[in-house]
A = this chain, B = another copy of it.
Amino acid sequence: MEKLITCTAANVSTDDGIVLQGNGADQWSITKKTLVGGVQTGVELLIVDNGLMQITIILTRGMSVLDIQWNDIRIGWDSPVKQVVHPNFVNLEDQGGLGWLSGFNELMVRCGVAFAGHPGDDNGEFLTLHGRIGNLPASRVEVSFEEAPEPTIRVRGLVEEKRFKFGVFELWTELATVVGSDKITIHDRLTNPSEYSQEYQLIYHTNFGRPFLEQDAQFVAPVKTLAPLNEYAAEDLATFQRYLGPTSGYGEQVYCATMLADPQHWTTTMLHNADASLGVAVGYDVQTLPYFNLWKNTDTERDGFVTGLEPATGFPYNRSVERAGGRVNKIGAGQSVDFSMSLQALTADGVAATNTAIQSLMGDRKTKLIETLASEQ
């Protein structure tokens, strides 16, 4: 006789049930789950099923998007970190400020908002990698559905990043998706409830693995300027658009860019696979996200084969470098700043159409590849 069971301490979830759902033909739903076991215990998820895509939002991790299931394709990436880590198990200060990496496995995680980017000292204050906002739970979550003009599901979450005397921010995040569509849009509003103006930084760290990323996959975008983050990235500046397959010892190469945009300040970037049969488009409003960071991390499959397309308020250097470069803005007392981005799944036709749109944005302008490091701009 042998018995084998799995305790409730194992890696399972409770099903908290349907939060909201459609009636009739347009089947859609919003479901809530709470994870149980390991470093996941207590993590709350909302799964938004728009009929075509199942979008998983992590309420407990700053309203990050864990992944999107699109037909039989998972949009996201395979981090060696497999659990959806509760922030209580992430010590941001750990290992010289690298603790954030203990929980990093999302399709989209916001970095910020008092600071983002590299850990290190900024004028006597030690900043940890990518800030606190991605490891704070939403304190208020609202879901809504509107029939017109298009049947749209909306999930809003308030994430508060606050410390008496040292930074007080309220970030209302919003994720919207039209029923049956292959697209999500993010509209965030960052408010400074203080009576003092405050510096802020924000990076939309949006990450993709297979099947979009593979050998000879391409990054396509209306790049105005692009410079390497460091010397290692500079070595391969000329081939920044092309991806390698999984490469032992590759680590990462990061490029710091600005994009051309349409008259409505919207720009579109794209990653597509080698034969252009599959892709993802990341669009965003350059008015409040004037920079873009391309994170190429085509390391081994098991250690993280991934690339990040990252609209941002600046480059991922430490805030001290960013301030010196003029890329750190302030929000006035009681004021707000809005941010918008979108993520769309593309089949071959979509890849072709997006390519055309990007070429049209470029017109006859050429990308300016800058050989000096972005920190020296």
Counting contact residues on chain A (CB < 8 A from B), the size range is 35 or more
Q: Tell yes or no: A279 within 8 A of B by CB.
A: no
CB-nearest residue of chain B to A159: B38
Task: Given A7-B59, A42-B41, A88-B88, check contact A195 B141 (CB 8 Å).
Answer: no
CB of A139 within 8 A of CB of B38, answer yes
Partner of A137, one of B9, B16, B125, B302: B9
Q: Is A92 an interface residue (CB 8 A)?
A: yes
Among B9, B80, B92, contact of A91 (Cβ-Cβ < 8 Å): B92
Tell me whether A165 is interfacial, beta carbon within 8 Å: yes
Contact with B along A153-186 (1 / 0, CB 8 A): 0000100101111101000000000000000000
User: What's the nearest-Cβ distance from chain B to residue A193, in Å?
Assistant: 6
For residue A358, give the distance in angstroms from its CB to the closest CB of chain B: 30
**In the complex, A8 has a CB within 8 A of chain B:** yes
- The answer to whether B3 and A145 have CB atoms under 8 Å apart is yes
> Complex Cα distance A165/B140, Å?
33
In the bound complex, CA of A285 to CA of B160 (Å) = 39
Contact, CB under 8 Å: B195 / A301:
yes
B168 near A137: Cβ-Cβ < 8 Å = no
A96 CA to B370 CA, complexed, in Å: 37
Q: Of all chain B residues, which has the CB nearest A151? A: B1
Q: Which of A331-350 contact B (CB under 8 A)?
A: 333-334
Residues of B within 8 A of A93 (CB): 91, 93-94
Q: A42-B41, A80-B168 are in contact. Are A32 and B3 (CB under 8 A)?
A: no
Cα A195 to Cα B193 in complex, Å, equals: 47
Evaluate contact between A104 and B164: CB separation under 8 angstroms. Answer: yes
- The reply to whether B7 and A19 form a contact with Cβ atoms under 8 Å apart is yes
Q: Quick check: A164 and B80 within 8 Å, CB to CB?
A: yes
Instruction: Provide the bound-state CA to CA distance between A20 and B4, in Å.
Output: 9
Residue pair A163, B96 in contact (C-beta under 8 Å) = no
Q: Give the residue of B38, B92, B102, B141 whose beta carbon is less than 8 angstroms from that of A10.
A: B141
